Amino acid sequence: MPFDAAPDMSRRALIRRPSPRLAQGLVTHIDRSPIDIDLAGAQWQGYVDALTGNGWHTIEVDPAFDCPDSVFVEDAAVMFGGTAVITNPGADERKPETAGTAAALRDLGYPVRTMTAGSLDGGDVLKIGSTVYVGRGGRTDAAGIAEFRAILEPLGGNVIAVPLTKALHLKSAVTALPDGTVIGYPPVVDDPSFYPHFRPMPEEGGAHVVDLGQGRLLMAASAPRSADLIADLGYTPVVVDISEFEKMEGCVTCLSVRLRSAPSGS
Ligand SMILES: NC(=O)NCCC[C@H](N)C(=O)O
């Protein structure tokens, strides 16, 4: 089989090139800081290189340069098994981002379910096996959770709503290690008792990991002490500098959508 034959269907990721208007994106829980747009472009490329360098095939969603926050592609779609759920982002400014993401997922053959009733951002969804935690916060409302639950339950997902008042998105506060341990930065976690296993991290950026497979975890350079702690748990941190995206309240999770399953029905 040639080396560049069909990519491994369990290691594909959507990405979306940053808009030149990134600095005009939304900022809610932190003060706005100046953005170096050239550095942001270089950091985005570094993030993409970290995915590809760890065996992931990246698929670029058509850019949405009129949408400052479109690089945060995770918020527009949630994958569950082989189905794509296109979200209805909680901020009006971000709603136009979904069309391009939906088109990319349809082109890849995924059945697409589109949310219309309530609002939900992909960043508010933390999947651990069939358990799906959803943050009820500033971007995701009760109607969005109900609609999302109605879509996921027939697919085998158990949606658990959790309170979120101290961070933009649930995954700004907590993510999960491959073994299912939820990690979080306590000052922005509303209630760690929602999770069966919770481990505090010493830095806010240390609460965010992307599971690259084979024990490798993508993490931000802003959290060196957390990376040491993760390494001490037997994982290998893969560190990328995403400072310009962190200034816009982004983190490592939100810059990609991992497609771990083949399209359902295929
Ligand atoms: N999932 C994420 O954490 N997305 C980050 C979105 C940041 C963007 N500036 C926003 O406020 O929507």
Output the ligand 1 site: residues, CB below 6 A: 25-26, 28, 69, 72, 74-75, 91, 94, 123, 168-169, 171-172, 248-251, 254
pTM for the whole structure: 0.96
| Ligand 1 pocket: which of 254, 255, 257 to mutate (most atoms within 8 A of CB) | 254
Residue 2: the pLDDT is: 44
At a CB cut-off of 8 Å and minimum separation 6, what does 146 contact?
117, 118
Cβ atoms of residues 222 and 246 within 8 Å:
yes
The separation between CA 4 and the C-alpha centre of its own chain, rounded to angstroms, equals 27
Q: Residue 95: what pLDDT? A: 98
Given the candidates 3.40.640.10, 3.75.10.10, 3.90.78.10, 3.30.365.10, the CATH classification of the domain at 12-259 is 3.75.10.10
Q: Can you give the pLDDT at residue 222?
A: 98
Q: In a mutational test of the pocket of ligand 1, which residue from 44, 75, 258 has the highest number of ligand atoms less than 8 Å from its CB?
A: 75
Distance 246 CA to ligand 1 centre (A): 9
**Helices in the chain by DSSP H: which ranges?**
37-53, 98-107, 142-152, 170-173, 224-232, 243-246
Phi, psi dihedrals of residue 174, rounded to the nearest 5°: -145, 145
pLDDT at 3: 47
Ligand 1 center–CA 196 separation, angstroms: 27
Cα–Cα distance between 229 and 251 in angstroms, integer? 19
Q: Which residues of the chain carry a pLDDT beneath 70?
A: 1-6
Does residue 215 sit in helix, strand or coil?
coil
